[in-house]
Structure 1
Amino acid sequence: MVSAFIDEWFTAHRAEVIAWRRHIHRHPEVSNHEVATTAYIEARLRERGLEPQRFPETGLMVDIGPEIELGRLAFRADIDALPVTEVTGLEFSSENPGVMHACGHDVHTTIALGLACALGDYEREHGLPIGIRIIFQPAEELWVGGATDVIEWGALEGVNSIFAIHAEPKLRVGRIGVRAGAITSATDVVEIKVKGPGGHTSRPHLTGDVVYALGKLITELPVLLSRRVDPRTGTVLVFGQVDSGYAPNAIPKLGSLSGTLRTADIAVWRQIQGLFSELVGQVLAPVGVDYELDYHRGVPPVLNDDVATAMLASAAQAIDPQAVVQAPQSSGGEDFSWYLEHVPGSMARLGCWSGEGEQHDLHMGDLIVDERAIGVGIKLFGAVVDQFLGKNTLG
């Protein structure tokens, strides 16, 4: 079994793998600037006799095993960091001021790198009956995500199924959260600029009240959406920024607000831009102001395939019968969803909380990941390979 080999491989190479993670954590790079990270991953792969293919900018992928008609089984890791200042106090804290692996991508990368190296050794010693592709993707944290570029560069050519994990600091290490269907949400950004002639607050009837218009948008749009969209779809509009005015007795000429519109339903996501535009016009029609709406499409929800998710759950249970938990549906966005627009697959939540002390959150400067999660992730992916080998098909 491939998984048994990978278990033994990780036991023998654990210190080396942890050192990889700490190096990557110490030298984080933001989206589309992962030059040193890409070079480091490539060097480790070539040391194992593998032949990675670099993407045109940053990131890379590596194929292991034969090309067969069924297609390759793929695993994806994201390699970019966030513009966040680290405050963990770890001895291997970020040496790049204002940049940190605050979303666990250093862990994702290390798991994929360990898997690739272990599979490379297995291929040389025993030969793999299936082809495997491991993708080290840049720029997951950018809007729309680097996955679209990676797909355009051919990362899914010849791929039949794809898997990924995401670090989960609210889940104890050793636990693996799985969920069929939507596990994340579509995330769009909306920006509305309101314009009027301006005036004095003593004569609001002689002008278009921009501040009042913004207030109507903030209070009415979320309610109207809840009456026009099935609430079971998890569709939520939240404004996070509003700006207008310069004096308490002056009605300004300009105002703006922006926020996020999220939904877990792919059908709703594909139609909601038109509905949102319609509602904005209806809310502002009585106020007598002009407006501009900028609607920025983000990523679709990650829709985990039923069969792939069942395989992922079986793989987790093969590691530990108590490992599997039901992952909650998240309102966050993840560009792994773009891969699933093309091929079936599944993403799991990887527990990385030690079980003691405070549970830190993703995208925060105090995030600490229990490094035991790295071994769990490598073994999980190894067990996924066994699932496919056992079924003797990628279909």
Structure 2
Amino acid sequence: MRVHGEEVTGWRRHFHSHPELSHKEFLTTDFVEHTLRAHSLSPVRFPGTGLMVDIGPSGGDRLAFRADMDALPVTEVTGLDFASTVPGVAHACGHDVHTTVALALACSLADNAHLLNHGIRVLFQPAEEVMDGGASQVIEWGGLKDVGSIFAVHVEPKLRVGKIGVRTGAITSAADVITLKVTGPGGHSSRPHLTADVVYALGKVITELPGLLSRRVDPRTGTVLVFGSINAGHAPNAIPESGIVAGTIRTADIATWRVIQTLMEELIAQILAPTGCSYELDYLRGVPPVINDDVATALLVDAARSVDPQSVINAPQSSGGEDFSWYLEHVPGSMARLGCGTGNGPSHDLHQGDLVVDERSIGVGVRLFASVVEQFGQVPGESSPGSDFLS
């Protein structure tokens, strides 16, 4: 059953208008499974949501491609004919495009499975948008068994459609969340010497911790601490009994990420010791940075150039987090930025309700993945299984 561009666009619009939050991608999983089976493939569902499908011969290390499926708790305001039909939920991060690219690749490869001399696996992963990401669960469920390398794309509205951003090394950052609760006996603001000043203690943490961190961590690691929430007290003349400050800490360096929690605990203890306050630190480990393998990235560059010699650009390192990193803790691979900017009107951004992507990026993504298969030596001959999807 041949896959056509209009059909693929229809898949994307279906996903876009029926978004589902993390771990709730039931309808999306059903749609992907039904489509794969219609192309004579035999997908295996994960517990809950998500699935994977193997194509081609067994044995040896498979070449894997990953797509995330979940949407965000964001209200869509695009006005598109196929806008979200689910109140307060939208594909504002482009995972509908990722799922469509992977589904089109799998169906195209199924139609050429007799040409494959190496196994392919396509992973449709749930729950990328929540900590610590669905990727770790997919790995527990055997998603990387017999996989030798893995690739992915992420849409980038800041890049014009047709452009593919590549980068060796860190392309995203680790992203952890800290929540610090500071407590004291409370008291009257006229007698601060008789109590422990929780607000003052919180102020010291907010102002001193980022500076101390910058003196203990190599600045070349791109490590940054930002507080986004602080809550304490109600009355101007009362020192409260407790207060909470919360924020994120990000780093592009995997070695720094492995030790940053211990360092944060040490610095917070030192800052708060003179205040007389007690505290509780909740440190939520997120995901490590995506560290693109140099060999896999070189293969990705060659694949992108075969799609369009002018397509490749050097992607900047992002401070955002991505759970594709968990796969790269186990096997080499690379993630590319897939340009989806229309070039018309204002530039949109990810995680915003007005995100609009140029659907031609789907064809570019399929061609890129199909070219990776070719560059990896899977499909002999002149044409790629995804060559119909560039326009």
Give the TM bin, normalised by the shorter chain.
Answer: over 0.9
Structure 2: distance between partners of 1:162 and 1:175: 21
CA offsets per residue over residues 195-241 of structure 1, 9 Å max, x none?
A: 01111111111111100000000000000000000000000000000
> Post-superposition, which runs of at least 4 consecutive aligned residues in structure 1 deviate over 3 A?
none
Partner of 1:365: 353
Following superposition, the deviation at residue 373 of structure 1 comes to 0.2
Partner of 1:262: 250
Structure 2: distance between partners of 1:92 and 1:345: 34
Partner of 1:341: 329
1:53 maps to 2:50: no
Structure 2: distance between partners of 1:42 and 1:86: 27
Structure 2: distance between partners of 1:277 and 1:188: 13
1:204 maps to 2:192: yes
Listed as ranges, the matches of 1:11-50 within 5 Å are 13-50=4-41
SS across alignment from 1:384: helix
Partner of 1:190: 178
Structure 2: distance between partners of 1:195 and 1:21: 50
Structure 2: distance between partners of 1:53 and 1:332: 31
Q: 1:100 aligns with which of 77, 90, 106?
A: 90
Provide closer, same or farther for how the CA distance between residues 287 and 276 of structure 1 changes in structure 2, counting only shifts above 3 A.
same
Partner of 1:6: none
TM-score, normalised to structure 2, is: 0.96
Of all paired residues, the percent bearing the same amino acid is 69
1:77 maps to 2:67: yes
SS across alignment from 1:325: strand
C-alpha RMSD over aligned residues: 1.4
1:352 maps to 2:340: yes
CA offsets per residue over residues 167-189 of structure 1, 9 Å max, x none?
A: 00111000000000000001110
Listed as ranges, the matches of 1:187-336 within 5 Å are 187-336=175-324
CA offsets per residue over residues 13-61 of structure 1, 9 Å max, x none?
A: 0100000000010100000000000000011111111111111110000
SS across alignment from 1:339: helix
Partner of 1:3: none
Question: Unaligned stretches of 5+ in structure 1?
Answer: 1-9
Q: 2:144 aligns with which of 125, 136, 156?
A: 156
Following superposition, the deviation at residue 192 of structure 1 comes to 0.4
Question: Unaligned stretches of 5+ in structure 2?
Answer: 381-391
Structure 2: distance between partners of 1:75 and 1:237: 33
8 A Cα contact 2:181 2:243, kept in partner: yes
8 A Cα contact 2:128 2:323, kept in partner: yes
Structure 1: distance between partners of 2:353 and 2:246: 25
8 A Cα contact 2:117 2:378, kept in partner: no
Provide closer, same or farther for how the CA distance between residues 12 and 162 of structure 1 changes in structure 2, counting only shifts above 3 A.
closer
TM-score, normalised to structure 1, is: 0.95
Partner of 2:101: 111
Following superposition, the deviation at residue 349 of structure 1 comes to 0.2
Structure 2: distance between partners of 1:145 and 1:378: 24
